[in-house]
Homo-oligomer: A and B are copies of this chain.
Amino acid sequence: MRVTIKDIAKKAGVSPSTVSRVIANHPRISSATKHKVMKIMKELDYHPNMIARSLASKSSKIIGVIIPGTAERSFEHPFFPELLRGIGTVAYQHGYNILISSVTSLEEEKDTIIQFARGGITDGVILLTSRVRDPSVAELIKMSFPFVIIGRSEQESRVNWVDNDNFSIGYELTEHFIKRGHRRIAFLGLSPDFLVTVDRFNGYKQALRDHGIPVDEELVVESQFVTDDGYHLMKTFYRHRSVQPTGIIACDDLLAFGAIKYLNEHGLEVPRDVAVAGVNNVPQAAYFSPSLTSVEINAFSLGAKAVELLLAEVNEEYTAGVPHTRSYSRTIIPAELIVRDSTGR
């Protein structure tokens, strides 16, 4: 039999309420009884049942993290662990645990969200998505359950989110190429369903315009997901397009690696013949030959900030009685261009 609060109470000669207050570090408790109770908890190796506590207090101290389905494969992305580490670190600091979903379909995702939210398992949810019109977002809003999105949602109001400024990322990257004299710059990896790529693409276009360079649709390569099929995208590109880019901006480093491999195999040297850059600054970017120019998105901070926003909202709920207008935050985590060999020196 596991030792409960009653066992402690009996042995300490106090009531269960008092033991509970000691555990919760309640202020109005004499330090005498406090120490007595704590001593006995040590002796009996007592550990509170978190489930019972959750039920009684209506707070599980668990944050749910919803990860886009396997189909989108972002799970595999190198920046994901960093994000998770940021989430975990801040959550731990505040005494929260993190419950991870890993679903394969949108229905499973909805199931999970309902379970997390309605089932009382979590106090709030962090949603990793930058999907246009994500159904989970609508669901969460409907339930008015605390949540934060990592990756800007299209839903502009009544949503907390944290993201990089992807427009600027696209803009700066493009300007970097322009400053090195490039004018035929391809954009690799536009996926209309994913705002992150759309935003970067808009930044790209704006930079071109600002420098008087016409946007050439021939230089835009769409892709289904933000995956690692840069090799095949380039193959298709060179087969079907007549333009010869001198620079390629890939929406992701993995895309860039694949693209470079293709270029190498077809006698094009990077950066001599074509300059290439990616985004996300994966660890391998520095070791690649040539080392890859990329953008550090500070995934750790994205995760950390998301937890802070979420906990602010979760706790806001407890300021009962005080009427207030609910506010929503958008937080931009700065990104940083890391220039390496793949765009020349």
Contact = CB atoms under 8 A, between A and B. Distances in A.
B55 A52 contact: yes
Interface string A215-239: 0000000000000101100000000
A97 B121 contact: yes
Copies, count: 2
A280 interface: no
Interface stretch (A32-40, A79-87, A150-158, A175-183): A79-87
Contact of A70 (B78, B89, B100, B257): B89
Given A76-B82, A77-B81, A231-B287, A101 B121 contact: no
Interface in A254-274: 254, 257-258, 260-261, 264
B287 A261 contact: yes
Given A78-B78, A264-B289, A287-B228, A70 B47 contact: no
Contact of A287 (B81, B88, B258): B258
Nearest to A255: B287
Interface string A108-129: 1000101100111100000000
Contacts of A92: 102-104, 108
A259 to B, nearest CB: 9
Contact of A51 (B2, B47, B54): B54
Nearest to A285: B284
A60 interface: yes
A213 interface: no
Contact of A104 (B76, B89, B103): B89
A289 B258 CA distance: 10
Interface in A47-73: 47-52, 54-55, 60, 62, 70
| Interface SS majority for chain A | helix
Contact of A85 (B70, B121, B257, B289): B70
A101 B108 contact: no
A75 interface: yes
Interface residues of A, number: 58
B228 A114 contact: no
A288 interface: yes
Contacts of A257: 284, 287-288
B121 A254 contact: no
A261 B289 contact: yes
A46 B212 CA distance: 59
B88 A102 contact: yes
Nearest to A78: B78
A99 B102 contact: no
A3 to B, nearest CB: 10
Nearest to A65: B100
A98 interface: yes
A283 interface: yes
Given A89-B104, A99-B99, A100-B100, 13 more contacts: A2-B118, A49-B119, A50-B119, A51-B60, A52-B55, A52-B120, A62-B99, A70-B89, A81-B81, A84-B100, A85-B102, A92-B102, A284-B288
6 contacts: A52-B55, A75-B81, A97-B101, A97-B112, A258-B287, A261-B289
Report, nearest first, the 10 A-B pairs whose CB atoms are least far apart.
A88-B102, A47-B118, A257-B287, A50-B119, A284-B284, A49-B120, A51-B120, A261-B287, A51-B54, A51-B55
